[in-house]
Amino acid sequence: MSGLILCTKKADIPYRISDANINIYSIEELAYYLYNNAYFVDDSFFTEELIEYIEEKLNLKKIAQRLRYAIGQKMDFYELVMIIVTGAMYFSENEIRGFEKELKSIGTKSMLERMKARAVMLYENGKLSSAMQVYDNILSNSTYKKQSDEFYSDVYFGKAKIHCRMFYFKDAIEELNEAYRLNNTLEILKSLIYAKLLYEKTFGIKVDFTDELENNSEIVFSCKQDLKALETQLLNGSEYERLSKIFIYDGKRNLDDYYEEIQNVLDNWKDEYKTNFL
């Protein structure tokens, strides 16, 4: 969290907002987070764990009691957020009035729209597994009102981007086909072609480009050229050079050192995978 926040009571132990990869230590920081991220928060944010933290670690029993009462009375999201924001006494009256208007506009958005916005936020923060779960929850939903084809196209497109980052190109291709069926934009078409090309190159499996070549042959050619240029750029990059020196044995290094360097790289990749995908 950037910026300087003046806090009245600061806990020794942080409360972690895992979706955003940040820790908060005070009610002011919590209010600041909600003030700037209300669109990406839903009712599930206000857990008993958070209330206990406010009550026990921040010693703000009245705010905790108000939250419990509001949840027990099934008050809406707007009222829960305002308990925190007004209780922190961090923002001016003008800021709070403006924020109330913003919250009301958020309230006009459907729960599925807010869920999709949350999935995008999670993806952008590297929480790929959590983002995928939200997308899947949207598609399996039977409670809230159905949205437009463009909305569900965006959901499939979001799932495809995650699968591409995980090298699950076959799954991504299926999702991009569905996204393009629902909303045939150029962006989705090019992503579909890229996914097919990467799947073919990565696994050596021939992919059917019949539809794309019949209707969009110039775009297919352009995508192929883009990938070739990117591959050339990567092969000439400093990171590729660094990894080549580690993985290609030159016959000079001590073998124990050689294997240790490789293991260090692999361990780092495993840590990145666990952070982003698990």
- Domains with residue ranges and CATH for the chain: 15-107 (no CATH), 111-235 (1.25.40.10), 241-277 (no CATH)
Q: Which of 37-46, 114-123, 140-149, 181-190 has the highest mean pLDDT?
A: 181-190
Q: Give residue-wise pLDDT tens across range 219-267.
A: 999 999 988 888 787 777 787 677 777 777 777 777 777 777 878 766 7
Q: What is the largest CA-CA distance in the chain?
A: 72
Evaluate if pTM is beyond 0.75: no
Name the token pair of 28. 């002011």
CA-to-CA distance for 80 and 46, rounded, in angstroms?
A: 8
Helix (H, G, I), strand (E, B) or coil at 24: strand
Q: Give residue-wise pLDDT tens across range 72-95.
A: 998 888 889 999 999 998 888 888
Of 79, 80, 160, 78, the closest CA to residue 119 belongs to: 160
Q: Give residue-wise pLDDT tens across range 113-138.
A: 888 887 887 888 788 888 899 899 99
Name the token pair of 162. 């995650």
